[in-house]
């Protein structure tokens, strides 16, 4: 899989992409990450990439010409994404969907935003990692890249779609324990020491449901068409 990332700050990605699972995925050619410095496509001697918005207002807007030039200079763009606070919430299902694509290109938003014509001409979807505003789209691009990379077959050495990780099956993950059996007065649940796989599975399912009800009841609402909180949300 090829992931292109167009950014004004490619150096931000160096440490993240050269560590742990992402590093191994690149070393074993499971993914190829191509960082494109948008500044190299800036206009004029000063490599200008932004300008003031028409209609006034604070901040600057990324110009369309440098982004268009960067995209058109790529051998393949595939599925093009912009990271932006106004985008659709990025979820596990999106990571799964994107991980099955051959080429994904992520444009990192910055300043007050990107000229709307870039979205109209080149972009397939806009994604956000949460209801808050960051200094730029680089960290969301890292999050998206990490989330989809771990789902590529062979990256984790197991079929991740069969794990009990949070969000895979619409619920949060069950609690985990390791040695020692007792820590500061808290003992590992006896069922996990029983060796009875069916009882362990049932315990994990019940605890996952319990955790989800407590921490993220909205996730259970998504599974229930008649849920009151879901209906209220749809009316907002």
Q: How many CB atoms lie under 10 A from the CB of residue 174? A: 19
Specify the length of the chain in residues.
Answer: 236
For residues 106 and 4, the answer to whether their CB atoms sit within 8 Å is yes
How many angstroms separate the CA atoms of 223 and 170, rounded? 8
DSSP letters for 152-184: STTSSSS-GGGS--TTSSSSPPPP---S-SEET
Environment class of residue 90 by beta-carbon count within 10 Å: exposed (0-12), middle (13-18) or buried (19+)?
buried
Which residues does 87 contact at the CB level (< 8 Å), separation at least 6? Answer: 125, 126, 127, 128
For residues 181 and 188, the answer to whether their CB atoms sit within 8 Å is yes
Active site residues: 85, 112, 150, 165
Which tokens in the block code for residue 94? 């999106």
At residue 5, the 3 state secondary structure works out as strand
How many angstroms separate the CA atoms of 105 and 86, rounded? 18
- Edge-to-edge order in the sheet of strand 32-37: 32-37, 2-7, 103-108, 79-89, 125-128
């Amino acid at each position: 899989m090829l992931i292109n990332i167009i950014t004004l700050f490619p150096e931000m990605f160096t440490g993240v992409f050269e560590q742990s699972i992402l590093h191994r995925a690149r070393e074993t050619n499971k993914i190829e990450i191509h960082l494109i410095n948008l500044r190299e496509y800036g206009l004029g001697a000063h490599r200008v990439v932004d300008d003031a918005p028409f209609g006034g207002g604070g901040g600057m807007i990324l110009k369309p010409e440098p982004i268009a030039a960067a995209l058109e200079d790529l051998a393949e763009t595939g599925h093009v994404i912009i990271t932006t606070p106004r985008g659709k919430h990025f979820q596990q299902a999106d990571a799964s969907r994107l991980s099955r694509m051959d080429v994904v290109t992520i444009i990192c938003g910055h300043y007050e935003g990107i000229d709307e014509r870039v979205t109209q001409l080149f972009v397939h979807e806009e994604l956000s990692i949460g209801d808050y505003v960051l200094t730029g789209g680089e960290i969301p691009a890292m999050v998206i890249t990490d989330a989809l990379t771990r789902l590529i077959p062979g990256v984790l050495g197991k079929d991740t779609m069969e794990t009990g990780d949070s969000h895979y099956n619409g619920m949060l993950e069950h609690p985990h324990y390791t040695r020692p059996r007792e820590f500061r007065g808290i003992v590992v649940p006896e069922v996990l020491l029983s060796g009875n796989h069916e009882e362990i599975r049932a315990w994990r399912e019940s605890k996952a449901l319990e955790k989800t009800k407590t921490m993220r009841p909205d996730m259970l609402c998504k599974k229930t068409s008649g849920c009151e909180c879901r209906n209220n949300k749809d009316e907002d």
